[in-house]
Structure 1
Amino acid sequence: MADSVNDNDSARVGAGLPEPDAHGQAAMLLVESLIHGLVARSILSVEDAVEVVDVAAEVKADIAAELGDSPATMEKSLTLLQAISASLRRDAPIEDGPIDNVGD
């Protein structure tokens, strides 16, 4: 029987380096785009959007060990969430000034 191929397999053929998960990348892009869209339409404030992402980062840090994440995987996840939070902070109205870490 031929080996089955799983499209979730993150091994890069021939390179020996892990390739980012396509499903995860698409999901992150979709969620970030949705949040930016809600902010642009004034459905969600920038402050609330930043808080949502910061809470997600806190939850990720709290449950990473329970999920079996390695420290490196947890750090990568937190880095992605921090980048999204920083991106949202740039959407803050100039007159309001920079948004501090809401969840801190």
Structure 2
Amino acid sequence: MNGESPLLEIEDLQTWFYTDDGVGKAVDGVSYSIQPGETLGVVGESGCGKSVTAMSILQLVPTPPGKYVGGEIRFRGENLLERSEKQMREIRGKEIAVLFQEPMTSLNPVF
């Protein structure tokens, strides 16, 4: 590590879903950081919160039923959870992007 500040830093992220059946804690206490030039690959079992974590970074979780309960998502030092929808649209795809892997087509070179 060269002493640079993290490009993206997730700290104690909590994204929960409120339903008639109760609360689903899809993301509960996730923390990590990415330095400039690094790539992060997130792997895990189905339903473990990978996609919800990625969608939380870009504020794409439907609210309701989803809610950002706690934590911070800092991009270049700024907490993204404090940005407006308009401000988030300015960075989605341009500065932050997510590549979701579709398991049924991931090994097919046609896709």
- Greater relative contact order structure (CA < 8 Å, 6+ sep): 2
- Bigger radius of gyration among the two: 1
Q: Which protein is richer in helix relative to its size?
A: 1
* TM-score for the superposition, normalised by structure 2: 0.28
* TM-score for the superposition, normalised by structure 1: 0.30
Q: Which protein is richer in strand relative to its size?
A: 2
